[in-house]
């Protein structure tokens, strides 16, 4: 479980339906999967000193429970994974990547800054609908 940082922000309220990963694990789980994922992924790039990252993490935790069978939720601490953050040109936190099941065909959706729960839910549902439509096109 995440704990309070030296900067005074309380991370203890964040449960663990989201999986914290490092750069190597992220590469393996998402980008190293030969372009295909078992489940779409929401990747949350955050820092323990980032105030808006706390309510974002709480919203994502709720969505991780809600979409537990449909989407995997991953977290990356940008202070611990500075090189990855630099490589992805992360400028603002929190930054989210919405990664579809087929990286070869579908673009990665990226957002920066705090988003309301309803907006996050809409993005996830829209991404799931887009994937469902593409599967239907293949089999129809």
- Residues with Cβ within 8 Å of residue 133, at least 6 apart in sequence: none
pTM metric for this prediction: 0.81
Domain boundaries, the chain: 19-139
DSSP string covering the chain, please?
-----TTS---TT--SSSEE--HHHHIIIIITSTTB-SS-EEEEEE-TT-TTHHHHHHHHHHHHHHTTTT-EEEEEETTTTHHHHHHTT--SSSEEEEE-SBTTTSPPEEEES---HHHHHHHHHHHHHHHHHHHHHHH-
List the catalytic residue out of 47, 53, 74, 99: 53
Q: Which residues pair with 46 in a beta bridge?
A: 77
What is the residue whose two structure tokens read 């429970």?
65
What is the per-residue pLDDT across 28-69, written as a single tens digit (0 to 9) for each? 887 665 656 778 999 999 999 999 999 999 999 999 999 999
List the catalytic residue out of 21, 29, 50, 120: 50
Q: Does 53 participate in catalysis according to the annotation?
A: yes
- With a pLDDT cut of 70, the percent of the chain lying above it is 76
Q: Does 50 participate in catalysis according to the annotation?
A: yes
Distance separating the N- and C-terminal Cα atoms of the chain: 46
pLDDT confidence of residue 131: 65
C-alpha Rg value of the chain to the nearest Å: 15
What is the per-residue pLDDT across 126-136, written as a single tens digit (0 to 9) for each? 988 866 655 55
On the question of pLDDT at 113 being above 60, the answer is yes
Q: How confident is the model at residue 15 (pLDDT cuts 50, 70, 90)?
A: very low
- Classify domain 19-139 at the CATH class level: alpha beta
Between 106 and 118, where is the model more confident?
118
């Amino acid at each position: 479980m995440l704990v309070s940082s030296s900067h005074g922000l309380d991370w203890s309220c964040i449960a663990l339906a989201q999986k914290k990963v490092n750069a190597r694990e992220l590469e393996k789980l998402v980008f190293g999967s030969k372009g295909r994922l078992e489940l779409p992924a929401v990747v949350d790039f955050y820092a323990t000193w980032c105030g808006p990252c706390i309510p974002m993490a709480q919203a994502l935790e709720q969505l991780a429970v809600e979409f537990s069978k449909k989407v995997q939720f991953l977290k990356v601490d940008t202070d611990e994974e500075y090189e990855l953050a630099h490589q992805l040109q992360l400028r603002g936190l929190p930054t989210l990547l919405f990664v579809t099941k087929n990286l070869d065909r579908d673009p990665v959706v990226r957002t920066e800054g705090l988003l309301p729960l309803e907006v996050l839910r809409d993005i996830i549902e829209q991404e799931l609908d887009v994937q469902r439509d593409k599967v239907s096109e293949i089999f129809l």
